[in-house]
Protein backbone atom coordinates (compact mmCIF):
# COMPACT_ATOMS: atom_id res chain seq x y z
CA UNK A 1 0.00 0.00 0.00
CA UNK A 2 1.53 3.26 -1.12
CA UNK A 3 1.69 6.12 1.37
CA UNK A 4 0.21 8.33 -1.36
CA UNK A 5 -2.71 6.06 -2.30
CA UNK A 6 -6.16 7.63 -1.82
CA UNK A 7 -7.72 7.01 1.58
CA UNK A 8 -11.34 6.19 2.32
CA UNK A 9 -13.11 9.38 3.40
CA UNK A 10 -15.35 9.60 6.48
CA UNK A 11 -18.58 11.61 6.87
CA UNK A 12 -20.00 12.11 10.35
CA UNK A 13 -23.72 12.88 10.31
CA UNK A 14 -24.97 14.31 13.58
CA UNK A 15 -28.04 16.21 14.74
CA UNK A 16 -25.60 18.67 16.32
CA UNK A 17 -23.08 20.87 14.48
CA UNK A 18 -20.74 20.79 17.47
CA UNK A 19 -21.00 17.04 18.02
CA UNK A 20 -20.12 16.34 14.38
CA UNK A 21 -17.26 18.86 14.34
CA UNK A 22 -15.85 17.75 17.69
CA UNK A 23 -15.94 14.09 16.72
CA UNK A 24 -14.32 14.85 13.36
CA UNK A 25 -11.59 16.82 15.14
CA UNK A 26 -10.94 13.96 17.58
CA UNK A 27 -10.89 11.26 14.90
CA UNK A 28 -8.60 13.37 12.73
CA UNK A 29 -6.11 13.95 15.55
CA UNK A 30 -6.04 10.34 16.74
CA UNK A 31 -5.43 9.09 13.20
CA UNK A 32 -2.66 11.57 12.41
CA UNK A 33 -4.56 13.85 10.04
CA UNK A 34 -4.10 11.96 6.76
CA UNK A 35 -7.78 11.13 6.20
CA UNK A 36 -10.59 13.44 5.11
CA UNK A 37 -13.10 13.46 7.97
CA UNK A 38 -16.06 15.68 7.15
CA UNK A 39 -18.63 16.89 9.64
CA UNK A 40 -22.24 17.07 8.47
CA UNK A 41 -24.00 18.26 11.60
CA UNK A 42 -27.20 20.19 12.17
CA UNK A 43 -29.71 21.75 9.81
CA UNK A 44 -28.85 24.24 7.05
CA UNK A 45 -29.28 27.14 9.52
CA UNK A 46 -27.15 25.42 12.18
CA UNK A 47 -29.99 24.22 14.41
CA UNK A 48 -30.41 20.72 15.83
CA UNK A 49 -31.38 18.29 13.09
CA UNK A 50 -29.93 16.89 9.92
CA UNK A 51 -29.60 18.17 6.37
CA UNK A 52 -29.47 16.04 3.25
CA UNK A 53 -27.70 18.90 1.45
CA UNK A 54 -24.98 19.04 4.11
CA UNK A 55 -24.53 15.28 3.91
CA UNK A 56 -24.31 15.38 0.11
CA UNK A 57 -21.68 18.14 0.20
CA UNK A 58 -19.66 16.30 2.84
CA UNK A 59 -19.76 13.04 0.87
CA UNK A 60 -18.52 14.85 -2.25
CA UNK A 61 -15.72 16.53 -0.28
CA UNK A 62 -14.70 13.29 1.45
CA UNK A 63 -14.28 11.31 -1.78
CA UNK A 64 -10.69 11.15 -3.00
CA UNK A 65 -11.02 7.95 -5.00
CA UNK A 66 -11.27 5.23 -2.36
CA UNK A 67 -14.92 5.66 -1.38
CA UNK A 68 -16.70 7.19 1.60
CA UNK A 69 -17.99 5.79 4.88
CA UNK A 70 -20.99 7.57 6.41
CA UNK A 71 -21.66 7.29 10.15
CA UNK A 72 -24.94 8.56 11.69
CA UNK A 73 -25.12 9.62 15.36
CA UNK A 74 -28.69 8.44 16.00
CA UNK A 75 -31.20 6.33 14.14
CA UNK A 76 -33.17 9.31 12.89
CA UNK A 77 -30.12 10.60 10.99
CA UNK A 78 -30.31 7.40 8.95
CA UNK A 79 -33.48 8.64 7.26
CA UNK A 80 -31.70 11.74 5.97
CA UNK A 81 -28.70 9.74 4.78
CA UNK A 82 -30.86 7.16 3.02
CA UNK A 83 -32.84 9.86 1.23
CA UNK A 84 -29.63 11.53 0.09
CA UNK A 85 -28.04 8.28 -1.04
CA UNK A 86 -31.17 7.27 -2.95
CA UNK A 87 -31.00 10.55 -4.88
CA UNK A 88 -27.40 9.84 -5.82
CA UNK A 89 -28.71 6.91 -7.80
CA UNK A 90 -27.21 3.52 -7.13
CA UNK A 91 -23.91 4.69 -5.76
CA UNK A 92 -24.89 3.76 -2.26
CA UNK A 93 -24.82 0.65 -0.16
CA UNK A 94 -26.53 0.40 3.19
CA UNK A 95 -24.63 -0.97 6.14
CA UNK A 96 -25.81 -2.58 9.33
CA UNK A 97 -24.65 -5.89 10.76
CA UNK A 98 -27.15 -7.91 8.73
CA UNK A 99 -26.62 -6.03 5.51
CA UNK A 100 -22.86 -5.90 5.17
CA UNK A 101 -23.03 -8.79 2.74
CA UNK A 102 -24.79 -6.50 0.31
CA UNK A 103 -21.48 -4.75 -0.28
CA UNK A 104 -20.50 -7.75 -2.39
CA UNK A 105 -23.84 -7.55 -4.20
CA UNK A 106 -23.15 -3.98 -5.25
CA UNK A 107 -19.77 -3.91 -6.95
CA UNK A 108 -18.54 -0.37 -7.32
CA UNK A 109 -20.51 0.97 -4.34
CA UNK A 110 -18.60 4.08 -3.33
CA UNK A 111 -20.62 5.17 -0.28
CA UNK A 112 -21.35 2.89 2.63
CA UNK A 113 -23.61 3.73 5.55
CA UNK A 114 -22.38 1.88 8.64
CA UNK A 115 -24.17 1.04 11.87
CA UNK A 116 -21.72 1.88 14.65
CA UNK A 117 -21.37 3.78 17.93
CA UNK A 118 -20.68 7.35 16.82
CA UNK A 119 -17.46 8.35 18.59
CA UNK A 120 -15.82 4.93 18.74
CA UNK A 121 -16.89 4.10 15.20
CA UNK A 122 -15.54 7.40 13.88
CA UNK A 123 -12.17 6.91 15.58
CA UNK A 124 -11.84 3.25 14.58
CA UNK A 125 -12.88 3.92 10.97
CA UNK A 126 -10.56 6.91 10.57
CA UNK A 127 -7.56 5.09 12.02
CA UNK A 128 -8.24 2.12 9.74
CA UNK A 129 -8.58 4.41 6.73
CA UNK A 130 -5.29 6.12 7.67
CA UNK A 131 -3.56 2.74 7.48
CA UNK A 132 -4.71 2.48 3.86
CA UNK A 133 -7.52 -0.06 4.28
CA UNK A 134 -10.30 -0.37 1.68
CA UNK A 135 -13.91 0.74 2.13
CA UNK A 136 -15.16 -2.63 3.35
CA UNK A 137 -12.39 -2.92 5.96
CA UNK A 138 -13.08 0.64 7.16
CA UNK A 139 -16.81 -0.09 7.46
CA UNK A 140 -16.06 -3.31 9.33
CA UNK A 141 -13.73 -1.48 11.75
CA UNK A 142 -16.55 0.96 12.54
CA UNK A 143 -19.07 -1.79 13.14
CA UNK A 144 -16.64 -3.78 15.31
CA UNK A 145 -16.61 -0.79 17.65
CA UNK A 146 -19.80 -2.24 19.18
CA UNK A 147 -17.59 -4.84 20.85
CA UNK A 148 -14.82 -2.58 22.17
CA UNK A 149 -14.87 -2.21 25.95
CA UNK A 150 -13.48 0.83 27.71
CA UNK A 151 -13.03 -0.83 31.11
Partner 1 sequence: MPASSESITLTGDLHARPAGALAVTAGRFAATVSVTAGTKTADAKSVLGVMGLGATSGQVLTVSADGPDAAEAVSALIAIIGEATRVGG
Q: Residue numbers of the site for partner 1 (CB under 8 A)?
A: 1, 26, 29-32, 120, 123-124, 127-128, 130-133, 141, 144-145, 148-150
We find the least distance from the C-beta atom of residue 150 to partner 1, in angstroms, to be: 6
We find the least distance from the C-beta atom of residue 108 to partner 1, in angstroms, to be: 24
Nearer Cβ to partner 1, position 51 or 140? Answer: 140
Q: Measure Cα distances from 15 to 22, 30, 114 in Å.
A: 13, 23, 17
We find the least distance from the C-beta atom of residue 22 to partner 1, in angstroms, to be: 13
Instruction: Please state, in angstroms and rounded to a whole number, the distance separating the CA atoms of residues 134 and 14.
Output: 24
Nearer Cβ to partner 1, position 29 or 76? Answer: 29
Nearer Cβ to partner 1, position 89 or 151? Answer: 151
We find the least distance from the C-beta atom of residue 118 to partner 1, in angstroms, to be: 13
Phi, psi of 131 (to 5 degrees): -80, -5
Q: Judge contact between 38 and 9, C-beta under 8 A.
A: yes
Instruction: Please state, in angstroms and rounded to a whole number, the distance separating the CA atoms of residues 131 and 138.
Output: 10
Instruction: Please state, in angstroms and rounded to a whole number, the distance separating the CA atoms of residues 103 and 40.
Output: 24
Instruction: Please state, in angstroms and rounded to a whole number, the distance separating the CA atoms of residues 128 and 134.
Output: 9
> Residue 40's closest CA among 8, 7, 69?
69
Nearer Cβ to partner 1, position 102 or 144? Answer: 144
We find the least distance from the C-beta atom of residue 1 to partner 1, in angstroms, to be: 6
Nearer Cβ to partner 1, position 77 or 145? Answer: 145
Amino acid sequence: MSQDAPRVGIVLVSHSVRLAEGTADLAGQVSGGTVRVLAAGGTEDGGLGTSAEKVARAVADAETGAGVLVLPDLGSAVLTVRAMLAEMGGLAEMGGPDEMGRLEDTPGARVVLADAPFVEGAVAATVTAAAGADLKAVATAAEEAWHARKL
